[in-house]
């Protein structure tokens, strides 16, 4: 990664971190929502409830990630408009993206609620886990519409360089969710003891409140980022462009979620203890790469903004600088995983069998941190430039040529258990880090025309 250090490196790092920090906090708070559910369900209901929510959320978030990927195109388009100071077009894009996400949210909710039982039947799980998962999934499916509204709004804010507002809204909603989890899962004070249904209801209410907060802010509070009813009127031209820059991101997420879905099926062939360990390890790793996601969001915004300012070289330097920040963070987290392995796992469970099943895998996951962060940030840089197709191709190749086949090889054929998932992931990231680096260095993305 040549030319990382330039005269503007210090300013560049500051810009990235100023944008990234609120995004990191927002992503961390989002993860905290999942972690809070995991902790409370693990300790209040037990490992069966933990496994049930894990499988239900795998389906739930698969649908969310696939269809919310339309926001990748919106962020890139808004960042370009922001760089050009074309706020009228920026607000039109925001309105059209909100209409698109609301429509998708309604369809996904109907699908998830209607076919919840059929979806969970895919997994080889016990009747108790199946029943708990069905209860959770049917209730939390109502929150999908609200999540899509929030995702659309957050993408617009980030594209315009505002990462603080999503942080405030997400933080408040998640605090309310944690409180709601406790009172509805334990029957605290005047509230009913709803068990796993309480966790689902609390999550749904918190997401409803977050979506309402976003709507109020863009209609009543913001000045440059100002939504008007006229912006919600159907615009074929804008929707077509959103589709052109987003469908590849949708295919990327579809490929990714199918791979994770298949991995979930592979893991479900193991014992319930291994399933619970897998869910805990996924939660731990998801916390570890939140800063990388925050830096990725900042990088996408700045790369798009500099392209809107007709400065592709600054976009290139920004991407490289952000990638180095990610690698440093990944090395730091890897060391943390190695030194504090058992204390970290004990935060999530007190069951000795689950702890023992997780120890080796968490150390192995530490090796994965640096290439994982690098891939996340490079992907963000390319998406911010509008090169969603390039990221899609690289991701699909990594998953289906390396990750999924090696997961089955290590986990089942070689009888390595849950650690086999991370053996496969490490191999895939090391190989395709070189591929995505080459793609970014070639700068073909600088030739992409977003508006005509």
Q: How far is CA 150 from CA 98, 211, 335, 374, in A?
A: 9, 5, 35, 27
Query: DSSP state, 46?
Result: -
Burial class (CB in 10 A: 0-12, 13-18, 19+), 397: middle
Say yes or no to pLDDT of 240 above 80. yes
How far apart are alpha carbons 350 and 38 in whole angstroms? Answer: 13
Given this model, what pLDDT does residue 32 score? 65
Given this model, what pLDDT does residue 313 score? 92
Structure tokens at 165: 């507002």
Given this model, what pLDDT does residue 315 score? 93
Dump the DSSP string for 340-351: SHHHHHHTT---
Say yes or no to pLDDT of 28 above 80. no
Largest CA distance in the chain: 62
pLDDT digits (tens, 9 = 90+) for 142-174: 888 898 999 899 989 988 888 899 989 988 988
Query: Nearest CA to 361 among 278, 259, 430?
Result: 278
How far apart are alpha carbons 419 and 401 in whole angstroms? Answer: 19
pLDDT digits (tens, 9 = 90+) for 62-111: 777 777 777 888 888 898 888 888 888 888 999 999 988 898 889 888 98
Residue for token pair 């615009």: 235
Supply the mean pLDDT for the chain.
85
Given this model, what pLDDT does residue 30 score? 67
Q: How far is CA 122 from CA 119, 250, 450, in A?
A: 6, 23, 41
Rounded mean pLDDT of 395-402? Answer: 94
Say yes or no to pLDDT of 12 above 80. yes
Given this model, what pLDDT does residue 226 score? 82
**What percent of the chain shows pLDDT beyond 90?**
30
Overall pTM > 0.95: no
Residue for token pair 């592709």: 312
- Between 272 and 10, whose confidence is greater? 10
> What is the three-class DSSP state of 134?
helix
Query: Nearest CA to 370 among 410, 316, 334?
Result: 334
Say yes or no to pLDDT of 192 above 90. no
- Between 29 and 185, whose confidence is greater? 185
How far apart are alpha carbons 322 and 299 in whole angstroms? Answer: 7
pLDDT digits (tens, 9 = 90+) for 361-371: 899 989 999 99
With a CB cutoff of 8 Å and minimum separation 6, the contacts of 313 are: none
Q: How far is CA 197 from CA 49, 182, 223, 372, 425, in A?
A: 11, 12, 40, 34, 33
Say yes or no to pLDDT of 4 above 70. no
Given this model, what pLDDT does residue 7 score? 61
Q: Are 119 and 59 in contact (CB under 8 A)?
A: yes
Say yes or no to pLDDT of 335 above 90. yes
Rounded mean pLDDT of 164-189? Answer: 88
Query: Nearest CA to 51 among 272, 228, 306?
Result: 272
Q: How far is CA 117 from CA 110, 120, 126, 134, 419, in A?
A: 13, 5, 13, 6, 29
**Model confidence band, residue 11 (pLDDT cutoffs 50, 70, 90):** confident
Q: Where are the domains of the chain?
A: 9-446
Q: Are 72 and 296 in contact (CB under 8 A)?
A: no
**Model confidence band, residue 424 (pLDDT cutoffs 50, 70, 90):** very high
Count the alpha carbons within 13 Å of 36 in the hemisphere toward its beta carbon: 22
Q: Are 172 and 132 in contact (CB under 8 A)?
A: no
Given this model, what pLDDT does residue 439 score? 95
Q: Are 191 and 184 in contact (CB under 8 A)?
A: yes
């Amino acid at each position: 990664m040549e030319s990382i250090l330039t005269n503007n490196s210090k300013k560049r790092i500051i810009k990235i971190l100023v944008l990234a920090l609120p995004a990191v906090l927002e992503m961390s708070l989002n993860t905290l929502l999942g972690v809070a559910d995991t902790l409370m369900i693990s300790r209040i209901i037990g490992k069966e409830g933990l496994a049930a929510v894990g499988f239900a959320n795998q389906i739930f978030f698969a649908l969310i990630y696939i269809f919310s990927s339309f926001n990748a195109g919106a962020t890139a388009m808004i960042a370009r408009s922001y760089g050009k100071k074309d706020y009228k077009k920026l607000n039109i894009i925001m309105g059209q993206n909100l209409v698109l996400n609301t429509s998708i949210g309604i369809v996904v909710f109907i699908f998830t609620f209607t076919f919840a039982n059929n979806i969970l039947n895919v997994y080889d799980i016990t009747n108790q886990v199946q029943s708990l998962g069905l209860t959770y999934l049917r209730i939390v499916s109502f929150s999908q519409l609200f999540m899509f509204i929030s995702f659309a709004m957050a993408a617009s804010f980030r594209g315009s360089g505002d990462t603080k507002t999503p942080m405030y809204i997400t933080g408040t909603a998640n605090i309310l969710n944690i409180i709601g989890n406790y009172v509805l899962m334990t029957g605290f004070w005047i509230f009913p003891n709803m068990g796993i249904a309480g966790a689902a209801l609390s999550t749904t209410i918190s997401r409803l409140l977050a979506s309402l907060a976003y709507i109020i802010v863009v209609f009543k509070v913001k000045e440059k980022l100002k939504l008007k009813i006229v912006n919600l009127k159907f615009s074929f031209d804008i929707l077509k462009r959103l589709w052109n820059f987003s469908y590849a991101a949708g295919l990327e997420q579809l490929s990714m979620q199918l791979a994770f879905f298949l991995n979930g099926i592979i893991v479900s062939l193991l014992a319930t203890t291994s399933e619970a360990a897998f869910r805990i390890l996924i939660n731990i790793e998801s916390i570890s790469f939140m800063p990388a996601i925050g830096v990725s969001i900042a990088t996408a915004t700045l790369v798009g903004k500099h392209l809107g300012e007709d400065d592709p070289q600054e976009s290139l330097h920004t991407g490289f600088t952000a990638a180095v920040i990610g690698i440093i963070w990944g090395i730091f987290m890897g060391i943390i995983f190695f030194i504090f392995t058992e204390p970290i796992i004990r935060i999530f469970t007190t069951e000795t069998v689950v702890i023992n099943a997780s120890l080796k895998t968490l150390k192995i996951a530490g090796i994965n941190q640096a290439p994982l962060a690098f891939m996340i940030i490079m992907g963000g840089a390319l998406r911010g430039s509008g090169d969603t197709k390039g990221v899609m191709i690289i991701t699909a190749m990594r998953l289906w040529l390396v990750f999924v086949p090696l997961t089955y090889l290590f986990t089942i054929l070689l009888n390595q258990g849950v650690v086999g998932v991370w053996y496969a992931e490490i191999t895939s990231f090391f190989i395709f880090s070189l591929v995505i680096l080459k793609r970014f260095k070639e700068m073909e993305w600088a030739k992409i025309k977003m508006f005509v």
